[in-house]
Amino acid sequence: MGSSKTVVLAALFANGAIAILKFVAFLLTGSASMLSETYHSISDTGNQVFLLIGIRYGAQKADRRHPFGYGKAQFFYSFLVSVLLFGIAGWESAKHGFSQLTESGAHGGSEAVEFLGFSYDPALSFDPVYVSYAVLLGAFAFETYALIKARAEMHRQMDRHGWDGYPEAFRKTSDVTTLTALTEDTIALAGIVLALVGLVLEQATGNAAYDAAAAVAIGLMLMGFALALAWQNKRLLLGESMPAAEERELREIVAGWDGVEDVIDFRTVYFGPERILVTADVAFADEFDTESMDDRIAAIEAALKEREPGIRTVYVEPEH
């Protein structure tokens, strides 16, 4: 939990600073891609705030109303990030870029543009495109710092679970906070590159369509990420079990325990990042009395928790 919070705080610091710099560059240049990147960084900043709320809310202790704790709060707030922030920011970015593309005689920063419904005429200010370059390069440095933090935490999880690479980690991780930060930082770097390409091509050709096309591409990329993140959170909100291979290993521990004749049923479910509930219906040998059976159940629970530290609760139900 502490590692995830550090990742989020690093991203919050980076994205807050970047959002301000990009907005200033947009006001000075009127660039469509800089406006898209401003929406992008605002959404990223809001993202981190939501994730921090999820971490804080999810850390509450279990009570009568939530006997397994509040860990799923992180799944919920990460889902909100995908739907409310990335989806909306992506749509606004793509819409503005498309509007610039379809308007006849688009001139980049020479005509009035709009931000959140307010009209602004960048022609009243100076028009150094190098301002945008400087801001984007600075943003690239900030985002790289945040990405390094997120990658370090994800690599720690990959080493712990033996996952082969990012695709497997993306499918299997329950730490949606780190997953969101990692993907967001990666998308942010890609967006910066697109914005730079659009600005360079506009400056080289004098055609603002390149800048507008970059804005559309950034918006589409954001919306695609929103869908992917929402899908990953859906599986955990609905109560996904552990990956099959890891669950099978835990089941084999129970099945191979002295006195266990059969594992009739075995289930796992995530109740938060690295918070797992395990239930097992186990048939013990008939010769065990109640006390001996209780000792074996306690030993099985301890062995499962030792094998997988994320297991918080184990219910073993003796069956005939």
Would you say 263 and 280 are in contact if contact means Cβ atoms under 8 Å apart?
A: yes
Q: pTM score, two decimals?
A: 0.71
- Exposed/middle/buried for 182, CB within 10 Å: 0-12, 13-18, 19+? buried
Residues 15 and 121 in one domain: yes
Residues 23 and 123 in one domain: yes
DSSP annotation string for 158-213: HHHHT--SHHHHHHH---HHHHHHHHHHHHHHHHHHHHHHHHHHHHHH--THHHHH
Structure tokens at 220: 């589409």
User: Residue 85 carries which side chain, given as an amino acid letter?
Assistant: L
Residues 58 and 196 in one domain: yes
Point out which residues pair with 319 in neighbouring strands.
283
125: containing domain: 2-237
Write down which residue in 177, 207, 237 finishes a domain: 237
User: Residue 149 carries which side chain, given as an amino acid letter?
Assistant: K
Q: In which element (H, E) is residue 257 found?
A: none
Residues 138 and 7 in one domain: yes
Q: Could you read off the pLDDT tens digit of each residue along the chain, which spans 320 residues?
A: 556 778 778 778 877 888 888 888 887 777 777 777 787 788 778 778 888 888 888 778 888 888 888 888 888 888 887 777 667 778 877 887 888 777 744 444 445 555 455 455 555 444 457 777 888 888 888 888 888 888 888 888 888 878 888 888 887 788 877 888 888 888 888 988 998 898 888 888 888 888 888 888 988 888 888 888 888 888 888 888 888 888 999 999 999 998 889 999 999 999 888 889 999 999 988 777 777 888 889 999 999 999 988 898 999 998 76
| CA distance linking residue 235 with residue 82, whole number of Å | 14
Residues 70 and 149 in one domain: yes
Residues 215 and 301 in one domain: no
